[in-house]
Chains A and B, each alone.
Chain A
Amino acid sequence: MPEIHVDSLVKQFGEQRALDDVSFDVAEGELFTLLGPSGCGKSTTLMSIAGFQTPEEGRIEVGGDVFYDAARRVSVPAERRNLGIVFQSYAVWPHMTVFDNLAFPLRVRKTKRAAIRPRVVEVLDLVEMGPYIDRYPHQLSGGQQQRVALARALVYSPSVLLLDEPFSNLDAKLRERARAWVKELQGRLGLTTVFVTHDQDEALSMSDRVAVMSQGEVQQIGTPEEIYRRPTSRFVAEFVGNVNLLTGEVAATERGRIALEIAGGRKLWIDSERAQQPRAQVTVAVRPEALRLEAAETSTLNGSNTLDATVRSVAFLGDHYQYELETGDLSLTAQTPRAVFAERVKVHIPADACAIVE
């Protein structure tokens, strides 16, 4: 039942449009991520679902309950929405022990005294914090506080879990472990979850679906693969990882593919379901690791979509090498897992790796 429907949210902060017609649906049990740079409206959207921000227009419905409806002037107070939230700062109450932090939501709900402790213990075990039940927050590490915050958000079995950049205060190593762990727990409990982050790796690795936001608007909604491989806009292509953007004029159209005339009069064939007007300006995005790179002398690369290029610089980045290439007056970035030791190279741009962006 707990599906989330967010419909045409609009919110204005002075002159600034914080939310501009934001709509999306989250299916039951899904982990849905709002991804975007700071100030893009992702947190405002999350806090609107939670009830701490009130949009000016739109509608929010969770599991059949209308939480907010501008047209009908409905706005359920935050405390009656029965959502679990993990805040960026964790917001574990410093004057209460771990037990009291978890017991508080149950006491608010007038749970019988005898039932509180077993439930708290059960949920603490779930987040593997059982031994810390009598500690105060200042006696816990950041990662442990985060687990307590999560446990507190789960202890009253809310219909939906909201996560507001919960990993941003953890160091890199811990963050990776926490992600895997939260994802696993979310899947096991089948919790419908909305997750906010500015970290693309986090979004791609954890989500069932991602909504990329910019300047108060949803740019694209899709699975992590779709978002990464088939971005529909320049912004999404550039925000989610490195990208080469190539602009050209439509020179030829065939079934399922088109040819672009790019800098230097060269032709680039790309797969395209949509037909394009002849001579239309089109920009395509292609990921650096999708390019194939070989030393010019020994290369077997040939035919269409293959360009001669000069290596301007090489950087070793641990698990791969990154090349800045120049071909004519076109600059390209390429990545390979193994080093290519040559100044003159051939680059192949696979037709199916190119996504047309707006």
Chain B
Amino acid sequence: MAQVTTTTYEPVAPVRRSRSLPTAGSLQWLVWLVVVGLILGPFIPLVYASIRDRPLYEAGGAFTAGAYRDLLSDTAFWHAALHTLEYAALTTTLSVVAGGAIAILVARTDLPWRKALGRLTLLPLLLPSLGIVLGWIVVWGPGGYLSSLVHTHLHLGTLDINTIPGMSVIEATRLLPVAYMTCEAALARADSSLEDAARSAGSSPIRVLRSITIPMLRPALLNSGTLIFTLSIASLGIPLLLGTQHNIQFLSTYLYLQWTNGATPDSPLVSAGAMLLLLVATLLLLLRNRMLGAEARYISVAGKAGRTAMLSLRMWRWPLAIVVALYIVFSTLVPVIGLALMSFVAFLTPLIAPWHLFTWSNWHILGSGIYLRSIEHSALLALIGGLVTTALVALATLVAHRSKLPTRKSLPFVMLYPRAIPGLIIGIGFFWAYLLTGAPGSWLRQGIWGILLAFCIRNLPFAYVVMYPTMARIGEELDRAGRSVGAGWWRTCRSIVLPLLKPALFASFVLMFVEILNDYDPALFLVRPGTEVIGTTMLDTFLQGIVGPVASLAMVQVGVTVIVLAIGTLVLKVRVTGGHDA
């Protein structure tokens, strides 16, 4: 202690700065402008297009509310709206009830294999949704492999997936993980001593579940329910593949078919419909934000939740585990196996053993023409989109949470906004935006980069939601320390905050890669011959009645997704599912 050390306590040279460098403030403004402009910008032409009397590419025209009048007086629109409402309500109920139940089983009971079952429940989030739907059709559709098998051998009917309840079941399996994740996270956060207290006060386990656990979950259920409702209103894939062939129209398909088959393509009517859908989605988002605020009173600040006490299921342990396992098998595994099988046979039927129908042709065909082109495009977009979005969102997150920019508080809301917006609206919005921005717009429209931009914006909320929690855990004193020793804002971000954010950056890239690879609905409005991506090609080919190559394309998506996720979790040690309860 008393050791005397001599030091030359003389000032080191002061911080030198070159005046020519742009200041931190202008960089922050630039990031804010780019993010807000790219996300909200495309809605301006959409509004404009909806109040003109003719498509924007035609000369002349005047302002009118005619498109809205036409839309609201079209009985087909009202039928579609009713179908959508029924579909969304059913989907939401199914996925919230089942997702909440699985979350309670995993987080609060002694269910066997609960950890593994919980992880597998999340799979549909990351697998390509379009591919899984095709898998369902192949297996359970009319004349599908298992539905025919059950029909011929057991003389039983299976659920007809071409009806609204049938479609809701498929949609629910796709969206159930959203409810599961939100509830599971809420249960993990909540102190289980609240439940222990009820037990020691004399309540039976069932009573505890009813009086404590489920009421505590209410905000999570409402919150995820609203998100699922929004997402199912916006869903295009399932309605398009299953509904249109049986003349069940939904808002999304109504707008899409008006767009592609209408007498005047790209009519103001579609823009008006998109505007209405955007309005509903925005209102639901605002509602959700209010509920999140109200959630605060449910958060128990009891500090460390010790080891969670497990509710004993006794004799129900194995039966319930088997039910959950069967759900995973039938919702995820069977469609994937169906797809895999389909990709190796000329046609799939229970009447002839598959090995008699074996063929490589569905895979061979991927090596040429539109199929090869789509795969190349998707891979390129996923790679570049993953990098670009991660970089942009990292900057925007820094500005939102680590700067003094006066407008920074708007960024989190803006960055989460695309999550609530139907993909088709983003597609239409960007279509008009490219059309109205002259040379740069038309360059984007001609190539795949226009699709890239739409995909990036659509999926950017996931990147933000992955990054934000990590950013919030990096203590603010760490960057203040950087500033105090003389580093400017950008230097502090680069040397201190970004290196600490590295795991989240990797996770964001992996997630963005997978999401962009499997995305399709914004592209339906932007794609043109020569700029196809896997999703649009699958949809087009399937609607033409060709199934084999679609199955092999879907398998390519599944395969790449699984490999990328495996590399992500094993090598980079990232947790990528974090983003989906956004």
Contact = CB atoms under 8 A, between A and B. Distances in A.
A123 B486 contact: no
Given A50-B484, A156-B486, A80 B15 contact: yes
A91 B475 CA distance: 8
Secondary structure at the B interface, as helix, strand, loop or mixed, is loop
B481 A82 contact: no
Given A52-B483, A109-B16, A126 B477 contact: no
Contact of B9 (A51, A52, A91, A157): A157
Contacts of A7: none
B15 A82 contact: yes
Nearest to A88: B477
A163 B510 CA distance: 42
B12 A80 contact: no
Contact of A153 (B7, B14, B485, B487): B485
Interface stretch (A13-21, A100-108, A278-286, A293-301): A100-108
B30 interface: no
B105 to A, nearest CB: 37
Interface in A136-173: 149, 152-153, 155-157, 159
A78 interface: yes
B493 to A, nearest CB: 12
Interface stretch (B424-432, B435-443, B464-472, B495-503): B495-503
Interface in A269-307: none
A87 B11 contact: no
Interface string A95-139: 100000000111011110000000100110110100000000000
A218 B495 CA distance: 38
Contacts of A84: 484-485
Contacts of B491: 108
B488 A152 contact: no
A108 B478 CA distance: 16
Interface string A51-83: 110000000000000000000000001111111
A94 interface: yes
A153 B499 CA distance: 21
B25 to A, nearest CB: 10
Interface in B13-38: 13-16
Nearest to A164: B477
Contact of A109 (B8, B13, B483): B13
Given A91-B478, A109-B14, A126 B7 contact: yes
A108 B7 CA distance: 22
Contact of A85 (B7, B14, B481, B495): B481
Nearest to B480: A52
Interface in B383-429: none
Nearest to A84: B484
A316 interface: no
A125 B5 CA distance: 7
B3 interface: yes
Given A95-B500, A108-B485, A156-B485, A126 B5 contact: yes
Nearest to B404: A54
A104 B487 contact: yes
Given A119-B12, A177-B1, A79 B500 contact: no
Given A79-B15, A79-B484, A109-B486, A122 B7 contact: yes
A205 to B, nearest CB: 16
A88 B487 CA distance: 20
Contacts of B482: 93, 104
Nearest to A116: B12
Given A110-B16, A119-B12, A79 B478 contact: no
Nearest to A80: B15
Contacts of A24: none
Contacts of B15: 79-80, 82, 108-109
B74 interface: no
A51 B485 CA distance: 12
Contacts of A156: 11-12, 485-486
Nearest to B484: A85
A111 B9 contact: no
B10 interface: yes
A91 B477 contact: yes
Contacts of B483: 51-52, 77-79
Contacts of B480: 50, 52, 78, 85, 87, 91
A91 B481 contact: yes
Interface in A172-192: 177, 181, 189-190
A152 B7 contact: no
A104 B8 CA distance: 19
A89 interface: yes
B486 A181 contact: no
Contacts of A126: 5, 7
Contacts of A155: 12
Interface in A26-59: 50-52
A287 to B, nearest CB: 32
B485 A152 contact: yes
A183 to B, nearest CB: 12
B484 to A, nearest CB: 4
Give the residue among A50, A78, A81 with the most B Cβ atoms within 10 A.
Answer: A78
B485 A93 contact: no
A104 B16 CA distance: 14
Contacts of A159: 11
Give the residue among A79, A92, A189 with the most B Cβ atoms within 10 A.
Answer: A79
A87 B14 contact: no
A35 to B, nearest CB: 21
Given A85-B481, A93-B478, A108-B15, A181 B1 contact: yes
Interface in B493-536: 495-496, 499-500
Contact of A189 (B3, B9, B11, B475): B9
A326 B482 CA distance: 57
B471 to A, nearest CB: 14
Interface string B340-377: 00000000000000000000000000000000000000
Give the residue among A119, A155, A157, A189 with the most B Cβ atoms within 10 A.
Answer: A157
Contacts of A93: 478, 481-482, 496, 500
Contact of B500 (A94, A149, A189): A94
Contacts of B5: 125-126, 128
Given A79-B486, A79-B488, A123-B7, A111 B500 contact: no
Contact of A108 (B3, B9, B477, B486): B486
Contact of B12 (A152, A153, A157): A157
Closest 7 CB pairs of A and B: A105-B485, A91-B481, A91-B477, A85-B484, A78-B483, A87-B477, A157-B11
13 contacts: A81-B484, A93-B481, A105-B487, A109-B13, A109-B15, A111-B12, A122-B8, A123-B7, A155-B12, A157-B10, A157-B12, A159-B11, A189-B7
Interface of B: 1, 3, 5, 7-16, 475, 477-478, 480-488, 491-492, 495-496, 499-500
Given A79-B492, A153-B484, 7 more contacts: A78-B483, A91-B481, A93-B482, A104-B495, A125-B5, A126-B5, A156-B12
Interface of A: 50-52, 77-85, 87-89, 91-95, 104-106, 108-111, 119, 122-123, 125-126, 128, 149, 152-153, 155-157, 159, 177, 181, 189-190
